Amino acid sequence: MTIRRYLLLPFFAFFIQFLAAQSTTAFRGQSEVHLASNQLSSVHEFPIANDGPFLSFCVKAPIPTAGLMIRFSEDGSDWTEWLAIVDDPHAEDSEIGWTSALGYIDPQYRLYQLKSIAPIDGSIRFFNPQFTDRLPAGEGTEFTISTRSCTCPLPSYRNRSQWCPSGNCPAQSNPSYTQVTHLIVHHSAGSNTSSDWAAVVRSIWNFHVNDRGWSDIGYNWLIAPTGTIYQGRGDNVMGAHFCSHNSKTMGTCMMGTYMTIQPTDTAVTSLKKLLSWKCCKENIDPTNIKYHPSSGLNLYQVSGHRDGCSTACPGDAFYPTLPAIRQNVKLRTANSCANIFAPAPLSAELQDNQALLSWIDNSDNEEGFLLERMQAGEAEFTLLASLPADTHSYLDESIEEGVYYGYRLRSYNAQDTSMYSNEIWLSTGGVSTENQFINASTVSLFPNPTSGEITLKLSTKLTGKFDIEIRTADMQVIDRLSFEKSTFSETKTLQLKNKPAGLYFVKITQDGASGVFRVVKM
């Protein structure tokens, strides 16, 4: 009895290993492809069950194959149209052989047939991702996201244990990390619709790992048309997505094909949030062009895949929108990723002794605008007008001659108030205030216009410390000086020798008294 028990142990061990092997490969299968030029294959059944949300497939061959096509049928009588099997736009230069792009097969089909213009000897590989909600939960892994203090949050996302609950999509065991300087945008060149986007992520993982031979899914992040963000390799892990020049890049894949259509607004919003977080975290200006050492190219710090090599990715329709996305991401980071953006730039001009203010409305969710004004010599801005949503201009009819005014603006809604726009200053005359101690009667600036030096003469009973600022036409301070005044009339020399020609303002402050005066440099 004891001898029989020991004799059976090897058999049970083999049987258990066989079942384990079956369970790990039950969702993958392949068939050989051998076709001569212009040959039509026999009708084949799929080598695995098509009982999930779809089957994904690809073709592998020693050399690139042109003119390969496939079609599908439920019963062998009615067939779909022939579909081209094309090159994968994300192939890495180091790969051996040829791998097609990933394709998807609807769950009702049971049969397939191939035809080819050129001869091919290879294989067609199938993967059944199964329905996400029917997969057993395992011990999923999750990356730790390291971050510095940043006002733009990492948007919510689904980690690996959520898109692969069975735990059968492991991350690479020994990842390489990189300091990201360039954010690369892709499309997957796959289906634009799915009832189970987590299953699509698993299919891409299988395609990259089991078909391409990579160590993990190639992207750092993936975004579904629903707007859901999926974590791929994660933050600062070097990916496999940018023309074999992956150092210092983060790859984000918009799932779907965008050659003739745009991604959904929801997906683009998620992309902007994700890029804004990374730009804020790494101090990246998305509109800036910076040298990328690995590729040897000068690239926008937010670029498309096609900017690095010959590919249509991220799609002919989507790629031209990247400049607008860069601007939006820059605006988001400048506004600390608040849920409402500041109106900017704010500009002003005089029209018949009235101030015409205009701006760009950068938000689509404001309920209105708050316009504030400050008169030179005053301590702070005060509310001038509350304006309705979608307003782009305002005419200030209450200004006075000989006064210097500053304006700023912000938008608001029920949830938040934006940051302020830029400040804009407007002069309506030679002196900006009628302060009783510092005004046109007590202050002289000559010669005015000047070619360099200006003599400032103060004739006032005020004594003590005087602070003087020289400002540009947009009120940027370019020089400061202070002096102690002890007599009724004193002079001071100001220098504009090395300054460009144009309009300047001299602001004079003593305790609570102040005034701003115009100076022209010839």
Q: What pLDDT shows up at residue 447?
A: 85
Residue 144 has pLDDT above 60, yes or no: no
Paired strand residues for 494: 454
Q: Can you give the pLDDT at residue 26?
A: 67
Q: Mean of the pLDDT values across residues 452-464?
A: 87
Bridge partners (DSSP) listed for residue 88: none
Please determine, for residue 7, whether its predicted confidence score (pLDDT) is greater than 50: no
| Residues 176-186: tens digit of each pLDDT | 999 999 999 99
The structure tokens 């390969």 sit at 68
pLDDT band for 476, please (50, 70, 90 cuts). Answer: confident
- pLDDT, tens digit, 9 for 90 and up, residues 53-80: 999 999 999 988 889 999 999 999 999 9
Question: How far, in Å, CA of 242 to CA of 305, rounded?
Answer: 6
Tell me, rounded to whole angstroms, the distance of Cα 417 from its chain centroid: 23
Per-residue pLDDT tens over the stretch 404-454? 788 999 998 887 788 888 888 777 654 444 466 787 778 888 887 788 888
Report the number of secondary-structure helices (H) and strands (E) in the chain. Answer: 5, 31
What's residue 319's pLDDT?
Answer: 97
Instruction: Supply the pLDDT for residue 61.
Output: 94
Interaxial angle between packed helices 322-334 and 265-282, expressed in degrees from 0 to 180 and rounded to the nearest 10: 50
pLDDT confidence of residue 143:
44
Using a pLDDT cut of 90, give the percent of the chain over it.
55
CA separation for the pair 281, 230 (Å, rounded): 19
Q: Which helix (H) or strand (E) holds 427?
A: strand 424-427
233 Cβ neighbours under 8 A, 6+ residues apart: 143, 171, 172, 175, 216, 217, 218, 219, 220, 239
Q: Give mean pLDDT, residues 34-48.
A: 95
* Domains (range + CATH), the chain: 24-127 (2.60.120), 133-334 (3.40.80.10), 347-427 (2.60.40.10), 443-521 (2.60.40.1930)
Q: By the 8 A CB rule, do 195 and 53 touch?
A: yes
Q: How many CB atoms lie within 10 A of CB 450?
A: 19
Task: Mark 105-120 as b/e (b = at least 16 C-beta within 10 Å).
Answer: beeebebbbbebeeeb
- Predicted local distance difference test score (pLDDT) of residue 435: 62
Distances, alpha carbon 126 to alpha carbons 104, 178, 210, 395, in Å: 9, 33, 11, 67
Classify residue 486 by burial, with Cβ atoms within 10 Å: 0-12, 13-18, 19+. exposed
What pLDDT sits at residue 414? 82
Note the helical H segments in 439-512.
none
What pLDDT, on a 0 to 100 scale, did the predictor assign at position 331?
A: 84
What local confidence, expressed as pLDDT, does residue 301 receive? 97
pLDDT category of residue 288 using cuts at 50, 70 and 90:
very high
Matching residue, tokens 């091919």: 120
| Separation of alpha carbons 472 and 62, rounded Å | 68
Q: Quick one: pLDDT band at residue 387, thresholds 50, 70, 90?
A: very high
Q: Three-state DSSP class for 404?
A: strand
C-alpha distance from residue 258 to each of 279, 316, 388 (Å): 24, 7, 37
The answer to whether the beta carbons of residues 482 and 455 sit under 8 Å apart is no
Return the CA Rg of the chain. Answer: 34
Looking at 116-120, 157-161, 402-406, 456-460, which range is the least confident one? 402-406
Q: Helix, strand, coil: what percent of the chain each, to 5? A: 15, 35, 50
- pLDDT score recorded for residue 446: 85
φ, ψ for residue 305 (rounded to 5)?
A: -55, -40
Taking 80 as the threshold, does the pLDDT of residue 18 lie above it?
no
User: Which of these ranges, 63-67, 288-292, 350-354, 462-466, has the smallest mean pLDDT?
Assistant: 350-354
Q: Which of 105-109, 360-364, 472-476 has the highest mean pLDDT?
A: 105-109
What percent of the chain has pLDDT above 70? 89
For range 382-388, the mean pLDDT: 93
As given in the structure block, the two tokens for residue 490 are 């004193």
Average pLDDT for 196-212: 96
Q: Name the more confident of 317 and 522.
A: 317
Pairing of strands 182-187, 302-304: parallel
- According to the model, what pLDDT value does residue 145 have? 45
pLDDT recorded at residue 353: 80
- Supply the pLDDT for residue 10: 41
Residue 292 has pLDDT above 70, yes or no: yes
pLDDT at residue 337, rounded to an integer = 81
Sign of dihedral through CA atoms 17, 18, 21, 26? negative
Own/partner contacts of 215-220, CB < 8 Å, gap of 24 or more, are 215/172, 215/173, 215/174, 215/175, 215/240, 216/171, 216/172, 216/175, 216/240, 217/169, 218/90, 218/251, 219/186, 219/251, 219/252, 219/253, 220/250, 220/251, 220/252
DSSP for 46-78, written as a single string = -SS---SS-EEEEEEESS--SSEEEEEESSSSS
Indicate whether 22 pLDDT > 80: no
